[in-house]
Structure 1
Amino acid sequence: MFKKIKYIAVFVLLGGISVQAQVTVQSPYSRYGLGNIKGSLLPQFRAMGGVSTAVFKPNGYSTINIQNPASYASIDLTTLDMGASGGFTQLRNGNGKETSFNSTLSHVAMAFPLVKNKSALSIGILPYSELGYEYSVNEKYNATDSNTYNALYSGEGGLTKAYVGFGQQIGDYFRFGANIEYLFGNLQENGSIEIQSAPSINNRRQTKNSVGGLSFSYGAQYEIPLSSKKRITLGYSGSSPSKINTKRTFLLTQYLRSDLGEEQAAFDTLQLVENNASKLKLPLIHNFGITIQKDNNWLLGADYRMGKWSELSIDAVNQGLEDSWGFSAGAQITPDITSLGNYFKRVDYRVGFQYDKTYIRMNDQDIKQMAITFGFGFPLAQTSRFSFYKLNLTTELGRRGMITNGLIQENYINLHLGFTLNDTWFRRFKLD
């Protein structure tokens, strides 16, 4: 047991480093707000289109459902879940297309039952948002001027969420829970103006927000039994409109390019503001869900979500976003979880769909996102009668934006891999 604790401690440490340092993304839409919001979903829930708010215990395994901490009450074994993700992204506009690939360690989460099937504690770390883009725009000073300039934009970084959560069941059918979350990371953005006529003096604006502070999420679930093995579950979860501490650094410099077009070091600093204390105000988020399931056999569910992103502000400056909304529908089936003669009857098969109106509006057009999802949960060989292992694989095929009004369309294939361990720790052995 102590060896497992040691190994898991190393994984959590490496997870914190990787989630913060390795996350990269190539998405011009990540320029807005806090970047691309990742959501608190492990691979097994992404495979069902993100259905999770009303998911309690989809099969005989203990599963960590971070999206709704009320579900922690179902955890009856010590549970470890860790994984990685990668994705191919194709950017298209009217002039061409470009493809990129990025990957990272995605999450490390653990849960411990306090009172079996009544309450549990969970801790973990996972990405909250990803920021990564680089593009340029050639502009004229005005409609009658033949002179042009290049506007160069780039950004990198993201936010990471570490959390501690608790879930409790009251009576036979009601559960509630909450997560205390610590958001941290850096959001760095650059903007340059380069004059086309040479030689010329170019200007660059660099803004960096170093974020670190507490936020809260919460949830509840209510169960309606239909029979001894069938039930309907209603779920709600949300995130509070917390104010997070940030330190803002702003730098305005001038630089030149050589005759060969190579950028030279800045020769003048026009303005420098370092570590100016400010606040990042997060929006209020609501999630509603419903599932119907037959224990250890099948589950059907749907989620609806909405976020007040129009209230997001950084350093008391509203970020000009729209309120978002979206929905998911998905299913899971396990043909026969007890089958000994046919392995594939014990596999979890998952499928889903999701649609979102994001918080971005450009050129008088809402940026929308949709994806179809599918995945599998493969049970692995047990090392003892107290241990259970599962490998979760998920694929998301999606699209964001359209090639209209001069916009960019993102087509993506995201791949997620998760490893789940269920084990019984701190048990007493009796000697005859």
Structure 2
Amino acid sequence: MHRNSIGSFTKIALHLLLGLGLFGADQVHAQRSTSHSPYSQFGLGQMRNDLLPQTRAMGGISTGVRYLTGLPTLNIANPASYSGLNRTVLEAGMYGNFTQLSRDNLSDHTADFAFGHLAIGIPLQKYGGFSFGLLPFSDMGYSSKNVESIDDLVYEKQIFGEGGINKAYLGYGVSPIKGLSIGANAGFLFGNLYDITQVKFVSDLSAYPAELKETRNIRGLAVDYGIQYSKSINKKYNLTLGYTGTLNNKINAKPSRIITISENNFDDDYIAPPLDTISTGTFATRKIQLPLKHNVGFTLSKGYNWLVGADFNYADWSKFEVLDGQNKLEKSYGFAVGGQIKPDPTSVRYWNQVDYRLGFRYNQTPVMYRNQRINDMAVSVGLGLPLPETNFGRTFSQINISAEFGQQGSLNHNLVRERYININFGFTINDSWFIRRSLD
């Protein structure tokens, strides 16, 4: 007599993942932004990339990542890695952001916390592996305020943006010949981006404040693909070479706008409800050309002990249709280096079995602002904290924590300097599902 079984620990974890998934769905519905960058007003906002905390902690290297601590890992950024899965992998996590914005002698601090990712990878034995999940694609969150005047009429003008785009994906990877793997992800992008302009009249209390809210409703399919070649060296080391790219993806953006007026007040904590709608409009759907991306990278590892790697990336944003009044986006370039080490996998001391991760990345972004190219760089650190094995050693889990300490922009040329700390918290479960157990 036989029965199919999954571990009790996994059942508990599934409830946790379900809870995070419902929280993530609520976040998706609310379109909450976790970006507070003035540079997120360009393009589609701050791009989040398909990275989990494990790879973010290593500077964001991902193209050549196939194994971590000697075991296959779920790497959404390169779907060719799915073919190496030998256990079902469940990933879920949260994301936090702390930002300091500075210009001249002024500074402002913001913080936010939101849903990070939910993903599952399932091995198909000789038929490869597949994965599906939900994660953020981009965030928008910027704000500026000025006091202006026309003759004797003084008014306060505030411009800000919010919202984000999410990605639900399904991917498959297979190894047609020994050492070589190929794969692809099909991602459905959806979400709303809001650009809002508010005007309050300071000198005339009888004048109604007005608000213009422009919405871009984003929908569309984006396909990316990857290749990996993995080879053992001297039976001690493993070298993996990787490449990822995107198709000529185009998605739909349906713009609309609404102009409203509200009652006059000068309490920043009070949001006055609209008194009347002055104008509304919905416009024809237009196509948005997503950037053509190319990434190459490698990793070199020694079993459970250590891994080092590097990535080089390129994206062509020059064909992206920007909003009226914005500078055209440019081509972007960047690189990342990083790695991890486990002091002693055979030790009985817990901290000798922890994965310690470190990395650095640099990107020349596609944004030109005030005739200056905006660069982004960050140092990242992280930990992989193992949890006790359960289900007779068939289930093993890990808590992954990463922190990025970065800067975007500078104080030169009247720019805004953005210093940030991005915290990613993830929970990983590796389990053998659908095992046939014999019963006496």
Given the two structures, how large is their TM-score scaled by the length of structure 2? 0.89
From 193, 204, 220, give the equivalent of 1:187. 193
1:406 to 410, 414, 421: 414
Matched-pair contact (CA < 8 Å) for 1:256–1:263: no
Q: Distance in 2 between matches of 1:373 and 1:72?
A: 25
Partner of 1:215: 222
| Matched letter for residue 367 of structure 2 | I
Alignment of 1:330-369 (within 5 A): 330-337=338-345, 339-369=346-376
Match of 1:154 in 2: 160
* Structure 1 residue 120 corresponds to structure 2 residue 129: yes
Q: Does 411-420 or 307-316 show the bigger shift?
A: 307-316
Alignment correspondent of 2:175: 169
Question: Is the contact made by 1:253 and 1:271 (CA closer than 8 Å) also made in structure 2?
Answer: yes
Pick one of 427, 431, 434 that aligns with 1:419: 427
The answer to whether the Cα contact below 8 Å between 1:257 and 1:263 also exists between their aligned partners in 2 is: no
Question: What is the Cα deviation at residue 224 of structure 1?
Answer: 3.8
Partner of 2:307: 299
> For the structure 1 residues 426 and 263, does the alpha-carbon distance in structure 2 shift closer, same or farther, using more than 3 Å as the test?
closer
Identify if the C-alpha distance between structure 1 residues 201 and 13 changes in structure 2 by more than 3 Å, giving closer, same or farther.
closer
Cα distance in 2 for partners of 1:87, 1:269 equals: 35
Contact in 2 for aligned 1:36/1:129 (Cα 8 Å): yes
Indicate the SS of the match to 1:344: helix
- Name the structure 2 match of 1:102: 112
Provide the residue aligned with 2:398 in structure 1. 390
Stretch of structure 1 that moved more, 272-281 or 163-172: 272-281
Question: Which one of 54, 78, 91 corresponds to residue 101 of structure 2?
Answer: 91
Alignment root-mean-square deviation, CA: 2.7
Query: How far did 1:208 drift?
Result: 0.6
Instruction: Find the residue that maps to 1:288 and give its secondary structure.
Output: strand
Number of aligned residue pairs: give it. Answer: 427
Residue matched to 2:298: 290
Shift of 1:45: 0.2
Deviation at 1:287, TM superposition (A): 1.1
Specify the SS of the correspondent of 1:313: coil
| TM-score, structure 1 normalization | 0.90
In structure 2, the partner of 1:16 is 25
For 2:282, give the aligned amino acid. Answer: E
Distance 1:157 1:18 in 2: 10
How far the C-alpha of 1:241 sits from its partner, in A, is: 3.0
The higher-RCO structure (CA 8 Å, 6+ apart) is 2
Identity among equivalent positions (%) equals: 37
- Give unpaired runs (5+ residues) of structure 1: none
CA distance in structure 2 between the partners assigned to 1:318 and 1:136 by the alignment = 18
Contact preservation (8 Å) 1:310, 1:319: no
In 2, the alpha carbon distance for the partners of 1:104 and 1:256 equals 32
- Contiguous gaps of at least 5 residues in structure 2: none
- Give SS of 1:336's match: coil
Distance 2:88 2:79 in 1: 16
Q: Does 1:129 align with 2:135?
A: no
Write out aligned runs for 1:3-82 (5 A). Answer: 7=15, 8-21=17-30, 22-82=32-92
Q: How does 1:135-284 map to 2 (within 5 A)?
A: 135-139=144-148, 149-194=155-200, 197-198=203-204, 200=207, 203-253=210-260, 257=264, 269=277, 271-274=279-282, 276-284=284-292
Instruction: Tell me the alpha carbon deviations over residues 256-309 of structure 1, each in whole angstroms, 9 at most, x when there is no partner.
Output: 735989886666655421364333321111111122221222111111111111
* Shift, 1:42, TM fit: 0.2
Q: Which amino acid aligns with 1:402?
A: S
